[in-house]
Amino acid sequence: MENPYQPIRANILIVDDRPDNILVLRAVLEGSPDYMITTESSGPEVIERVKQTHFALILLDIQMHEMDGYETAVEIKKLERGKHVPIVMVTAIFREDREKSRQDDCDADRARVVPEHRQQARDQYEQQYRDSAEELIG
């Protein structure tokens, strides 16, 4: 018989238009009993998914073709289910000055360069998740 008092697993959404990048982020985060991972590959898909599902955290690629991460974040923050969800902008290439100003425009919580080492990436994302949870709880 299942334990009815098991904690609720948090939903994390990974968004990238490149399947190899999704694979890397999924590999970094998979294996934890604390959260479930969902993936999408475009801004419009993400917006529809956020309308239907509550997410504890969204890892959003900055450079996507159809709708970039900044445009997507702006639209997510307009949604009832999206306005309080922490969004971590993810990229392998980061230009501080330009990207910082766009990050402010879209109300994203942080921007991160994807680390090269799996454990370093896992530690960064788990810390971001804990920080976001603490901010929401107060």
Number of domains in the chain: 1
Question: Is residue 3 included in any domain, yes or no?
Answer: no
Instruction: Classify residue 56: in a domain, yes or no.
Output: yes
Residue 69 resides in a domain: yes
CATH of the domain at 109: 3.40.50.2300
User: Is residue 138 situated within a structural domain?
Assistant: no
The H or E element spanning position 38 is strand 35-40
Asked whether residue 88 is assigned to any structural domain, the reply reads: yes
Q: What residues have CB less than 8 Å from 119, skipping those under 6 apart?
A: none
pTM of the model: 0.68
Integer Cα distance of 30 and 68 in angstroms: 25
Note whether residue 4 is domain-resident. Answer: no
Burial of 20 (0-12, 13-18, 19+ CB in 10 A): exposed
**pLDDT tens per residue, the chain (138 residues)?**
555 555 678 899 999 998 888 888 888 888 778 889 999 999 999 999 999 999 999 999 988 888 988 899 999 999 999 999 999 888 765 555 455 545 555 555 555 545 445 556 566 666 766 676 666 555
Domain that holds residue 128: 10-133
Neighbour tally for 59: CB within 10 Å: 28
